[in-house]
Amino acid sequence: MDILVNNAGISTGSTNTEAGSAEALKKELFDNESATFADWDDIFRTNVSSIFFMTAAFLPLLDAGSNKTRSWSSTVLNITSISGMVKTSQHHPNYNASKGAAIHLNRLLANEIQENGLKIRVNSLAPGVFPSEMTTQESDENQKSHIPKDKFEGKVPAQRPGNDRDMANAVLFAVTNQYFNGQNFAVDGGYTLAAGQ
């Protein structure tokens, strides 16, 4: 095995963070039925813990993939999110916190693997807004989701959401560049420039 892509991700309902008072903010953050302690556990289990355990489980196969070709190193690509990089919670602090943890876990895994002398690269790709069931709540009969281009005019420097070609180019770069290790990179049309980190 040469490439492992960890791409699972979930989120829950939104949280109103523009509450206006300590009591109202406490109600939104602590008493929110769509963002409970159990929801936080589920999100971290899927968005963070699964990356750790899937990567650990596949280390022998990834190592074998690296050892069969002298100039090639197997790679792990973790799909994180710009939500783990921006300074706001975007109305889902549990999701953003999990993606921030996934970005840090990516760096930890890359370090532990290289410290053990294994030739396996670990990187993460942080997508901005791309059409998916998470961003549009639906997909068509071909499992494709769509976001109208005009929805992003003036909000993202690229003036559009990401598309399949943008994602494919980013994935190919991450898995084929043998000098790329321990990094998280955003593919976001400039969203993090506009939103701030």
Distance of alpha carbon 141 from alpha carbon 144, whole angstroms: 7
pLDDT digits (tens, 9 = 90+) for 146-180: 566 666 667 788 788 888 899 999 999 999 999 99
- Residue 6 bridge partners (DSSP): 78
Name the nearest CA neighbour of 192 among 122, 77, 132, 103: 103
In the predicted model, residues of the chain with pLDDT beneath 70 are 1, 131-140, 142-153, 197
Task: Tell me which residue range forms the domain holding 142.
Answer: 3-195
pLDDT digits (tens, 9 = 90+) for 68-86: 887 889 999 999 999 999 9
Would you say 14 and 92 are in contact if contact means Cβ atoms under 8 Å apart?
yes
Number of domains the chain contains: 1
SS3 content of the chain, % helix, strand, coil (to 5): 45, 10, 40
The pLDDT of residue 178 is 94
| Rounded alpha-carbon distances, angstroms, from residue 104 to 52, 59, 101 | 11, 19, 5
What CATH code is carried by the domain that includes residue 173?
Answer: 3.40.50.720
User: What token pair was written down for 17?
Assistant: 């963070």
Write down the pTM of the prediction. 0.87
